[in-house]
Structure 1
Amino acid sequence: MNVETGTIEPGEARCPADSAQDIIARDKVAAPGWVRSESYAFLGDEDVDSRRYTDPDYAREEFRRLWTRTWQFACREEHIPNIGDYYVYDIGPYSFIVTRVEENEIRAYFNACLHRGTKLRPSGTEGSTSDFQCPFHGWTWNLDGTSKSITCPWDFPHVDPDKLTLPEARVELLGGFVWINMDPAAPSLADYLGEEALAHIKAWKLEDRYTHLHVQKSFPANWKLTVEAFQEAYHVIITHPQVAPSNADANTQYDIYGEHVNRFISPLGVCSPHLAGQYSEQDILDQFTVGDGTMLSSDRPTVGDNTARQAMADMFRGVFEQTTNSDLSAVSDSEILDCFSYTIFPNTYLFPGISLPMVYRFRPDPKDYRRCIFEVMFMRPVPRDGPRPEPAEVQILSDEQSFSDAEGMDPGFGHILDQDTDNLHAQQEGLEASAKSGITLGNYQEIRIRHFERAVDKYMAMEPFRPNAADTRR
């Protein structure tokens, strides 16, 4: 605040209710440092040009400038646990065979034969192999990417097999995820994330979780619109009114870290400030735990001497310990209950909490800038006893299906995802019909969107980069 004038500086305004940190500070089991930290900065208030969502030429340039230079989550290590296991990751026109070549070494080969370009493995596949053979003419590569054989080598005296190694993207491992980057000059993953965000991710120990449910669906909206639909809780009171009695939407905390990571902390078990005074503590608890369309269905619990938030944290701790066969006694109430949403630019969301342990991944449709491929993966702690469970196979839904149609999906949460994504078609069409040239963002509640689009601007200002332009014979 400007002391001389008494006016609030841009970006300083907050909901006049308890902050997320005020709510978390009252919890019985205290939150760790990464929860209690704050990292907001005002990034301006000018409109963001909407052409980035509506121009097919802009989308084509993204594939040349942005997707070729950024770190992307390609698969989990659990997808390729053994030597010879592989997983095909596609991003726009690019495709990679991510494979374990040694116990502690993973590589990502460009998924194209060096003869006439045929894909070595079909999109969306995974499996195990000792080599990669082209299905067209049989040229074959060893697991380490070196040339194994050329059909009719007498006809290719101009090709040196020693120089016929499969081109690779860079690979780094973090939190049980396999990350790839096509640009050999890009910063390391650690530098890309920044010291503070990297420390948060390491603290979560996501390598000790496995993929319990994996659902994929496409939407008629640009990939950036789809990413941004999940970057704020500002929409909750209108889009998800059924959860507002137990979701402190306007209390949500927003943070940015460096150029590529941002987050929000949305407290649960507390009524929305929009509905202040309309619900008792028992009403809040009932809304979240009893009845149709809730996140959890059980016998009617009571608040007793607790707040609804504390009663929920205690109850959820017991439920999650039982379902995951794990000890959560040292885990804070906030981690048990609240929604933590981290975006790692450009297309990965990590939700490290216990109540919503998820990963989102967003990929543009290379054939239509108005469409996006959205995946949600639910993560569970690896059981203390017994073997590590196999990762769930992806369930692909049609445009007409609800997320609730996915086997294993909580109906209440599936409905929430449907509400989120139902807005996207109308937003895409509205932007294309609008006489206004940009979108207007709130200084605080929509800071993640502005931060995200600043990163888009950074990469779109770079020169186009073609990662596989080198002649492999030389």
Structure 2
Amino acid sequence: MNVETGMLKPGEARHPAESTQEIIAQDNVKAPEWAASEHYEYLGSEDISKDRYIDPEFAKGEFEKMWTRTWQMACREDHIPETGDYYVYDIGQYSFIVTRCEDGEIRAHFNACLHRGTKLKPSGTAGFANDLKCPFHGWTWNLDGSMKELPEKWDFAHTEKRNMCLPEARVERLGGFVWVNMDPDAPSLEDYFGPEAMAHFNAWKLENRYIYLHVQKSYPANWKLTMEAFMEAYHVGDTHPQVQPANGDVNSQYDVYGDHVNRFISTLGVVSPKLRDKYSEADIIENFTLGDSSSLGGTKPEFKEGDRARQIMADMFRQMFETATNTDLSHVSDTELLDTYSYTFFPNLFLFPGISLPMIYRFRPDPKDHRRTVYEVMFMRPKPKDGSYVETAEVQILEDHQSFAEAEGMDPGFGKILDQDTDNLYAQQEGLEASAKEGLTLADYQEIRIRHFENTIDKYMAMEPKRPNMKALQRT
């Protein structure tokens, strides 16, 4: 605040209700350091140009300048547990065969034959193979990318002195995820995310979870618009009114870390500050236990005058999850059990590391239509402590007209919330193209994740194009 004028500086304004950290501080089981922290940065108040969402040339530039330089989550290690297992990851026109080799290493080969370019494995597939063989003429590579067989080799004497290994992207592992990057000069994954975000990530132990539900749907909206629909809680009142009686929406917390990571924390078990005069602590319990927004499957805890609804919910969630997973959660904080922690890992991954609803969101642009996005939701559970095998879920692909609630295994109430989020996208994409206004006006605090995300896009778009270079990407 400016002491002389008493006026707030840009970015200083907050909802006058208690802050997220003040809510969390009242919990019985205290928050870990990564949760009990704030890291907001004011990044300006200028409008964001709408061209980035509607101009096909902008999308082309993203593929030439940004997607070829960034670390992307291709799959989980659990997708390829054994030697010969592979998983095809596509991003735009680029495609990779992520495979586990004989030495246990994981490699990501460009999914194209060095003969006449045929894809070695179909897009969107996973499976097992002893080698990587082209279906067209039978050129074959070992799992590590070295040449295994060239049919009619006598006719290709001119390739004898060439490096015929498959080009490959860089690969790193973190938290049970396999990350790929097409740029041999890119920073390490640790440097890319930065020390503070890496400390958060390492605290979650996501390598101890597995994907039990995986749902995919395509949307007629730009990939950035689709991502940004999930970057703030400002929309909850009008888009998800059913959850407001038990959700701290407009006093959610927003943080940014370097160029490539941001987050929000949205508290549950508290009423929206906008509805304090309409709902009591007892009403919060009712919201959790009744109707489509219920998180407790019809179970209703006892509520006494003077009780704090948030604490009742935390204690009940702890008991439910301990029973369901046969795990001692006494050391887990109340905020990890209750609240929504949403992290964006640039460019296209959301991680929700909480206990109650640990999720992964991934967003990928359609290379043939800048107005379409492939959106994936993956739900995680703890792996059995006895080390017994659990199967990673195969993806369920929904049609445009289908609701998320139709996915087998999806909680209907949460499916409805996802539908509400994505239903806005139809009107937003069309509205931007129809608008006479040249940009989007963002809140300084509540929409800082969007500004942070778009600022990073702009940094990459200011670079020269960097297309994959075969020689730089081949093993020697």
Give the TM bin, normalised by the shorter chain.
over 0.9
2:194 is matched with which residue? 194
1:19 is matched with which residue? 19
CA distance in 2, matches of 1:354, 1:473: 41
Listed as ranges, the matches of 1:368-379 within 5 Å are 368-379=369-380
Listed as ranges, the matches of 1:250-399 within 5 Å are 250-304=250-304, 306-385=307-386, 387-399=388-400
Q: Partner letter of residue 419 of structure 2?
A: D
CA distance in 1, matches of 2:372, 2:295: 29
CA distance in 2, matches of 1:197, 1:214: 25
2:231 is matched with which residue? 231
Deviation at 1:288, TM superposition (A): 1.4
Q: Contact conserved, 2:173 with 2:179, CA < 8 A, in 1?
A: yes
1:433-461: CA deviation from partner (whole Å, max 9, x where unpaired): 00000000000000000000001001111
1:218 is matched with which residue? 218
1:460 is matched with which residue? 461
Q: Partner letter of residue 308 of structure 2?
A: T
Listed as ranges, the matches of 1:56-135 within 5 Å are 56-102=56-102, 104-135=104-135
CA distance in 2, matches of 1:95, 1:255: 33
CA distance in 1, matches of 2:96, 2:449: 30
Q: Which has the higher mean CA deviation after the structures are superposed, 314-323 or 136-145?
A: 314-323
Deviation at 1:86, TM superposition (A): 0.6
Q: Contact conserved, 2:167 with 2:475, CA < 8 A, in 1?
A: no
CA distance in 2, matches of 1:388, 1:201: 24
1:154 is matched with which residue? 154
Q: Which has the higher mean CA deviation after the structures are superposed, 54-63 or 382-391?
A: 382-391
CA distance in 2, matches of 1:411, 1:473: 48
1:159-209: CA deviation from partner (whole Å, max 9, x where unpaired): 127610000100000000000000001110000000000000000000000
1:30 is matched with which residue? 30
Q: Helix, strand or coil: the match of 1:267?
A: strand
1:400 is matched with which residue? 401
- Percent identical pairs in the alignment equals 68
Q: Helix, strand or coil: the match of 1:380?
A: strand
CA distance in 1, matches of 2:37, 2:80: 35
1:292-317: CA deviation from partner (whole Å, max 9, x where unpaired): 44233223222335311111111111
Deviation at 1:120, TM superposition (A): 0.4
Change (3 A) 1:358 1:165: same
1:446 is matched with which residue? 447
Q: Partner letter of residue 38 of structure 2?
A: E
1:436 is matched with which residue? 437
Deviation at 1:99, TM superposition (A): 0.6
Q: Helix, strand or coil: the match of 1:395?
A: strand
Deviation at 1:136, TM superposition (A): 0.1
Deviation at 1:412, TM superposition (A): 0.4
Q: Helix, strand or coil: the match of 2:42?
A: coil
Return the TM-score normalized by structure 1.
Answer: 0.98
Q: Helix, strand or coil: the match of 1:371?
A: strand
Q: Helix, strand or coil: the match of 2:381?
A: strand
Deviation at 1:473, TM superposition (A): 12
Q: Partner letter of residue 317 of structure 1?
A: R
1:105-126: CA deviation from partner (whole Å, max 9, x where unpaired): 1110000000000000001111
Q: Which runs of 4+ in 1 moved over 3 A?
A: 468-474
**How many residues are treated as equivalent by the alignment?**
474
1:426 is matched with which residue? 427
CA distance in 1, matches of 2:17, 2:382: 34
Q: Which has the higher mean CA deviation after the structures are superposed, 142-151 or 297-306?
A: 297-306
Q: Which runs of 5+ in 1 are unaligned?
A: none
1:125-145: CA deviation from partner (whole Å, max 9, x where unpaired): 111111100000000000110
Change (3 A) 1:9 1:469: same
Q: Which runs of 5+ in 2 are unaligned?
A: none
Q: Contact conserved, 1:282 with 1:302, CA < 8 A, in 2?
A: no
Q: Partner letter of residue 244 of structure 1?
A: Q
Change (3 A) 1:102 1:307: farther
Q: Helix, strand or coil: the match of 1:23?
A: helix
2:206 is matched with which residue? 206
Q: Partner letter of residue 110 of structure 2?
A: F
Q: Partner letter of residue 326 of structure 1?
A: T
1:53 is matched with which residue? 53
Listed as ranges, the matches of 1:232-247 within 5 Å are 232-247=232-247
CA distance in 1, matches of 2:142, 2:470: 22
Deviation at 1:276, TM superposition (A): 1.3
Q: Partner letter of residue 407 of structure 1?
A: E
1:215-268: CA deviation from partner (whole Å, max 9, x where unpaired): 000001000000100000000001000000000001100000000000000000
Listed as ranges, the matches of 1:177-188 within 5 Å are 177-188=177-188
Deviation at 1:336, TM superposition (A): 0.4
Q: Helix, strand or coil: the match of 2:370?
A: coil
Q: Helix, strand or coil: the match of 2:268?
A: coil
Change (3 A) 1:41 1:255: same
CA distance in 1, matches of 2:399, 2:296: 26
CA distance in 2, matches of 1:12, 1:396: 43
CA distance in 2, matches of 1:272, 1:318: 25
Q: Contact conserved, 2:287 with 2:293, CA < 8 A, in 1?
A: no
1:52-84: CA deviation from partner (whole Å, max 9, x where unpaired): 000011111111111000000000000011111
CA distance in 2, matches of 1:161, 1:279: 76
Q: Contact conserved, 2:24 with 2:335, CA < 8 A, in 1?
A: yes
Change (3 A) 1:389 1:423: same
CA distance in 2, matches of 1:458, 1:140: 40
CA distance in 2, matches of 1:333, 1:123: 42
Q: Helix, strand or coil: the match of 1:449?
A: helix
Q: Helix, strand or coil: the match of 1:108?
A: strand
Q: Helix, strand or coil: the match of 2:158?
A: coil
Q: Contact conserved, 2:28 with 2:311, CA < 8 A, in 1?
A: yes
Q: Helix, strand or coil: the match of 1:243?
A: helix
Deviation at 1:100, TM superposition (A): 0.8
